[in-house]
Amino acid sequence: MEMSNNHEGGLFETEKKPKTKIVCTLGPASRSIPMIEKLLKAGMNVARWKNSAPTRSEITITTDYSIKGDEKLISMSYKKLAEDVKPGMVILCADGTISFTVLSCDKVKGLVHCRCENSKMLGERKNVNLPGSDLVEVRKLLGKHAKNILLMSKVENQEGVANLMTSLQTRMRLWWHERPRNGDSDRKDISSAEGDGLQVAEATDVANAVLDGTDCVMLSGETAAGACPELAVRTMARICVEAESTLDYGDVFKRVMEHSPVPMSPGGSTAKLVAKYRPGMPILSVAVPEIMTASFDWSCSDETPARHSLVYRGLIPVLYAGSARASHEETTEEALEFAVQHAKAEGLCRKGDSIVALHRIGTASVIKILTAK
């Protein structure tokens, strides 16, 4: 079920939030519950974890993250590293600038013995990649959970570009990583985060991505290890809001229709299809759990649709309580009333506003024009 208000003023009496979703990488600077709460209030929509190597060295990798490394030992946060790699495989660190060839693995102790193939300083909290991971195999590994988990393929080098069609054919979401065009020495911080804030070139990249229509933008080291994670999120949110305010949504809709005129379908993805056309109004995506009965056994679908909405631009997910009403029509009316009241409470609309509601009755798609009361 999806709802959109038609008021020109947008949000009321609340801090304006960007339609573009913000993904934050969690790390030592942002793993605590109080900091995660601050990031959520600042604008974080999705939390991301990544494997990292906190110190410089070579030869042996341990998965005990509490161990302080030295020139002979480094630690990584991925607990199953010794189980997932085999002798001969390559481990890439720091965006691939350092490579380790696996020599042997000790699954009991969580140790991986490697040979460093090149010489370069390994800084703290750098990313780690295991090249050659097969997306199809990953989906198979997830088994029955695969249908509820979105897989995103991060494209950040020539190998990723070469495998682009494979990612699309396996219905993977793409995460495009744009590397800085200018050297770090040419940049200036736009915040007082002691060098850990967003920088001018990065701010421009964020704004351009929003104008190009991206669903999400991501913070990596700024929130994982930066001095001011909360400030970085607030800064990115402000950049997104400012960029979105310059868009001509009518023109955006016309250009999208010229290239992909796909109508609403009964496939259960109406909210995502509506968001695809980048409407100027906020879209409240109401996930209604389905209660199923089989004799004396009752079951209820989970909140997966609401969680998945967090990576789609313009969607505001809300989870409605499961209903035991006798008919879908009664459940729908309850959900519509709940959605309108929730939208008013969140400042998405106010009394007297017209609201477009889209929902399903059986296999039919229904569009209603409601008035907020």
The CATH number given to whatever domain includes residue 212 is 3.20.20.60
N-to-C CA span, the chain: 19
From the CA atom positions of the chain, what is the Rg in Å? 23
Residues 285 and 358 both lie in one domain: yes
Range of the domain at 270: 2-13+249-371
Residues 45 and 159 both lie in one domain: yes
Partnered with residue 226 across adjacent β-strands are: none
pLDDT average, residue stretch 262-270: 48
**In this model, does residue 189 exceed pLDDT 80?**
no
Residues 44 and 185 both lie in one domain: yes
**In this model, does residue 237 exceed pLDDT 90?**
yes
Tell me the residue ranges of DSSP E strands in 109-234.
Answer: 111-116, 126-129, 152-155, 173-176, 216-219
Tell me 189's DSSP state. B
Residue keyed to tokens 């700024």: 222
296 vs 298: CA distance, rounded Å: 6
Phi first, then psi: give them for residue 207, nearest 5 degrees.
-60, -45
213 vs 313: CA distance, rounded Å: 8
Question: The whole model's pTM is what?
Answer: 0.65
Residues 9 and 114 both lie in one domain: no
pLDDT at 28: 83
pLDDT at 170: 56
Burial of 30-51, coded b for 16+ CB within 10 Å and e otherwise, reads beeeeebebbeebbbbebbebb
Shortest CA distance to 211 belongs to which of 4, 76, 1, 18?
Answer: 18
**In this model, does residue 97 exceed pLDDT 60?**
yes
pLDDT at 230: 94
Give the pLDDT confidence of 333-353 residue by residue, as tens digits: 888 888 888 888 888 888 888
Residues 318 and 183 both lie in one domain: no
Helix or strand holding residue 243 (H, E): helix 229-245
Helix (H, G, I), strand (E, B) or coil at 109: coil
**In this model, does residue 310 exceed pLDDT 60?**
yes
Residues 213 and 291 both lie in one domain: no
Phi first, then psi: give them for residue 146, nearest 5 degrees.
-60, -35
Give the pLDDT confidence of 31-90 residue by residue, as tens digits: 899 999 999 999 999 998 765 444 445 779 898 888 887 878 888 888 888 888 888 888
Cα–Cα distances (Å) from 175 to 9, 19, 133, 168, 258, in that order, read 32, 18, 16, 12, 25
Band of pLDDT at residue 166, cut at 50, 70 and 90: low
The four Cα atoms 354, 45, 158, 182 give a dihedral, to 10 degrees, of 100
Band of pLDDT at residue 292, cut at 50, 70 and 90: low
Residues 33 and 143 both lie in one domain: yes
Helix (H, G, I), strand (E, B) or coil at 230: helix
Residues 224 and 302 both lie in one domain: no
Residues 255 and 176 both lie in one domain: no
The answer to whether the beta carbons of residues 76 and 51 sit under 8 Å apart is yes
Shortest CA distance to 133 belongs to which of 111, 115, 159, 107?
Answer: 159
310 vs 315: CA distance, rounded Å: 7
**In this model, does residue 101 exceed pLDDT 90?**
no
More confident residue, 256 or 208: 208
By residue count, the chain amounts to 373
Task: Tell me which of 198, 230, 245 is where a domain ends.
Answer: 245
**In this model, does residue 206 exceed pLDDT 50?**
yes
pLDDT at 76: 85
More confident residue, 302 or 99: 99
207 vs 236: CA distance, rounded Å: 9
110 vs 82: CA distance, rounded Å: 5
Which of these ranges, 45-54, 145-154, 224-233, 261-270, has the smallest mean pLDDT? 261-270
pLDDT at 210: 92
249 vs 313: CA distance, rounded Å: 14
288 vs 336: CA distance, rounded Å: 10
Domain count for the chain, please give it: 3
Give the pLDDT confidence of 273-284 residue by residue, as tens digits: 888 888 888 888
Band of pLDDT at residue 191, cut at 50, 70 and 90: very low
Residues 205 and 267 both lie in one domain: no
Band of pLDDT at residue 180, cut at 50, 70 and 90: very low
**Mean pLDDT: which of 9-18, 65-74, 155-164 is highest?**
65-74
Residues 30 and 152 both lie in one domain: yes
**In this model, does residue 164 exceed pLDDT 90?**
no
pLDDT average, residue stretch 264-291: 73
The mean pLDDT of the chain is: 75
Task: Tell me which of 188, 211, 245 is where a domain ends.
Answer: 245
pLDDT at 141: 75
Residues 141 and 195 both lie in one domain: yes
Which of these ranges, 25-29, 47-51, 107-111, 257-261, has the smallest mean pLDDT? 257-261
pLDDT at 22: 95
34 vs 31: CA distance, rounded Å: 9
**In this model, does residue 20 exceed pLDDT 70?**
yes
Helix (H, G, I), strand (E, B) or coil at 371: strand
Band of pLDDT at residue 208, cut at 50, 70 and 90: very high
The CATH number for 109's domain is 2.40.33.10
Which of these ranges, 66-75, 255-264, 309-318, has the smallest mean pLDDT? 255-264
Task: Tell me which of 96, 123, 150 is where a domain ends.
Answer: 123
